[in-house]
């Protein structure tokens, strides 16, 4: 801010706004400064999680599965409509029915050995035992399972985004510490140069501080390159271009609740899979029920329905027919037994998932507790280092110690601050990771 004000004071303000005096122009710029700061690009972890859920290529499957379900249901509903079949045949028989002579002085010619027939058959299903409705429910459940599997895959990306985001956040915090370290060393260097100028300090004292400043610039360059690499990875994952100047907001989470009900999408998938087994079992049961349909047939052929008429005639037939597979060699029952085994497998998969999930939660809670202890020690160490550095500053000014000795104390302080930042970031990472693993992060962040 000081550099900004100094720059403004040297501007030829009358060329910019001739109707304002210098103090008024400075006031306008200062009032505008918050808006300049606000315009800086920022991003939050929650936004990254939302973007990866929307922009990741796998998310496109959601709309595709919905479209596919609509088509499948339309196909099943067609079974309620009449079916029309056009049939035609031409045959030649080696033998035909013959009366073998005259009947009551009437000569009856046998049918021709070459016969021709074309028919149009119409069938309308009247009763199907609820098979169509059960088939629709089975398709809907299958689509819901597909949607949930996509949701699980997208949910798994949260772990990757979370680690990328916190790696970037740690780099950002380290850069902030480096800037503060550089600022203080620069101030010490100016004091040492003044001492060298007036002969109270050796010129080597300034050289040591200058070398340390170069090392800081080198470290900052290294961090910037690492940040650029991670930003590119995060940009690809969330489908949004992040500029190197982007500022990452530090996430806020509610305290971890160990006994909170899990909202993991895998649990819903297991329930859907068991529902699918039940629906398929019901579908098999309904397939055993009788089916009744009405039919009508119209045709033209030689012979027609009158087998004794050897001319081409049209004909018509209508009625009701029943289809019932009374005995299937126990096939249906064994298929339902196989489905029950599928249900038991799903229960086993659910138990395995919950066990592994609980183990991961225990490990994450242990990491959170460990970070809290380390932070407590860091907060005790840093004030003591600050006192030591303050003493070393005074000794450096008076030429009691060398700049190398001062740099040692100063570096110890910033290493302690860096450790504190690391431990706080790791604690926050594990807290959010805990809630993602528990399936409660969205609820806690809203």
How would you class 434 by CB atoms within 10 Å of its CB: exposed for 0-12, middle for 13-18, buried for 19 or more? buried
Query: What are the distances in angstroms from CA 30 to CA 27, 41, 305, 318?
Result: 5, 20, 103, 93
CA distance 76 to 69: 11
- pLDDT digits (tens), the chain, 446 positions: 334 344 434 444 343 444 445 454 444 444 444 444 445 789 999 999 999 999 999 999 999 999 999 999 999 999 999 999 999 999 998 888 776 655 566 667 778 889 999 999 999 999 989 999 999 999 999 999 999 999 999 999 999 999 999 999 999 999 999 999 999 999 999 988 888 888 777 777 888 899 999 999 999 999 999 999 999 999 999 999 999 999 999 998 776 666 677 889 999 999 999 999 999 999 999 999 999 999 999 999 998 888 878 889 999 999 999 999 888 899 999 999 999 999 999 999 999 999 999 999 999 999 999 999 999 999 999 999 999 999 999 998 888 888 899 999 999 999 999 999 999 999 999 999 999 999 988 644 44
What are the residues whose beta carbons fall under 8 Å from the beta carbon of 296, sequence distance 6 or more? Answer: 121, 122, 316, 317, 318
In the DSSP assignment, the letter for residue 81 is S
Pairing relation of β-strands 247-248 and 106-107? unpaired
CA distance 147 to 66: 8
Query: What's the pLDDT score for residue 103?
Result: 58
In the DSSP assignment, the letter for residue 305 is S
Q: Is the CB of residue 158 less than 8 Å from the CB of residue 49?
A: yes
Q: Is the CB of residue 18 less than 8 Å from the CB of residue 27?
A: no
CA distance 159 to 438: 12
What are the residues whose beta carbons fall under 8 Å from the beta carbon of 181, sequence distance 6 or more? Answer: 216, 410, 414
- Per domain, the residue ranges of the chain are 45-92+124-256+275-289+324-438
CA nearest to 73, candidates 85, 65, 63: 65
Query: What's the pLDDT score for residue 12?
Result: 40
Q: Where are the alpha helices (DSSP H) in 126-264?
A: 131-197, 203-238
Q: Buried b / exposed e across 331-369, counting CB within 10 Å, b at 16+?
A: eeeeebeebeeebeebeeebeebeeebeeebeebeebbe
Instruction: Kindly report the CATH number that applies to the domain delimited by 45-92+124-256+275-289+324-438.
Output: 1.20.1600.10
Query: What's the pLDDT score for residue 308?
Result: 78
> What count of other Cβ atoms lies within 10 Å of the Cβ of residue 272?
20
Pairing relation of β-strands 106-107 and 42-43? unpaired
* DSSP assignment string, 248-294: EPPP--PPP-TTSPP--HHHHHHHHHHHHHHHHHHHHHHHTS-EEEE
Q: Determine the 3-state secondary structure of 40 from DSSP.
A: coil
CA distance 308 to 312: 12
């Amino acid at each position: 801010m000081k550099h900004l004000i100094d720059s403004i004071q040297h501007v030829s303000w009358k060329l910019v706004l001739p109707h304002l005096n210098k103090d008024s122009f400075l006031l306008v710029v200062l009032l505008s400064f918050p808006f300049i700061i606000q315009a800086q690009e920022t991003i939050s972890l929650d936004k990254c999680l939302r973007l990866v859920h929307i922009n990741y290529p796998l998310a496109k499957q959601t709309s595709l599965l919905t479209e596919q379900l609509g088509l499948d249901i339309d196909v099943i509903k067609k079974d309620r409509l009449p079916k029309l079949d056009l049939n035609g045949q031409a045959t030649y028989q080696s033998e035909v029915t013959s009366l073998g002579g005259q009947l009551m002085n009437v000569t009856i010619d046998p049918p021709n050995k070459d016969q021709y027939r074309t028919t149009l058959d119409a069938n309308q299903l009247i009763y199907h035992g609820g098979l169509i409705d059960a088939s629709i429910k089975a398709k809907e459940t299958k689509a819901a399972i597909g949607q949930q599997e996509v949701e699980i895959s997208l949910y798994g990306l949260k772990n990757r985004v979370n680690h990328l985001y916190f790696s970037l956040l740690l780099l950002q915090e380290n850069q902030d510490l480096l800037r503060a370290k550089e600022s203080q060393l620069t101030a010490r260097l100016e004091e040492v140069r003044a001492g060298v100028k007036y002969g109270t300090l050796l010129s080597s004292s300034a050289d040591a501080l200058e070398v340390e400043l170069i090392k800081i610039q080198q470290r900052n360059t290294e961090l910037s390159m690492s940040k650029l690499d991670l930003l590119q990875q995060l940009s690809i994952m969330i489908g949004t271009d992040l500029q190197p100047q982007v500022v990452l907001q530090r996430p806020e989470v509610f305290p971890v609740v160990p006994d909170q009900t899990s909202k993991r999408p895998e649990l819903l998938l297991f329930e859907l899979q068991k529902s699918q087994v039940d629906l398929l079992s019901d579908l098999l049961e309904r397939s055993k029920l009788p089916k009744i349909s009405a039919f009508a047939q119209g045709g033209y052929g030689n012979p027609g329905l009158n087998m004794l008429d050897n001319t081409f005639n049209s004909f018509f037939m209508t009625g009701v027919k029943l289809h019932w597979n009374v005995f299937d060699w126990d096939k249906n029952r064994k298929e339902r037994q196989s489905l029950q085994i599928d249900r038991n497998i799903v229960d086993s998969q659910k138990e395995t998932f919950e066990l592994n999930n609980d183990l991961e939660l225990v490990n994450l809670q242990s990491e959170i507790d460990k970070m809290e202890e380390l932070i407590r020690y860091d907060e005790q160490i840093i004030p003591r280092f600050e006192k030591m550095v303050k003493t070393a500053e005074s000794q450096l000014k008076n030429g009691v110690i060398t700049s190398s000795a001062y740099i040692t104390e100063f570096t110890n302080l910033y290493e302690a601050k860096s450790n504190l930042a690391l431990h706080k970031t790791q604690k926050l990472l594990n807290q959010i990771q805990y809630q993602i693993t528990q399936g409660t992060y969205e609820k806690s962040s809203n």
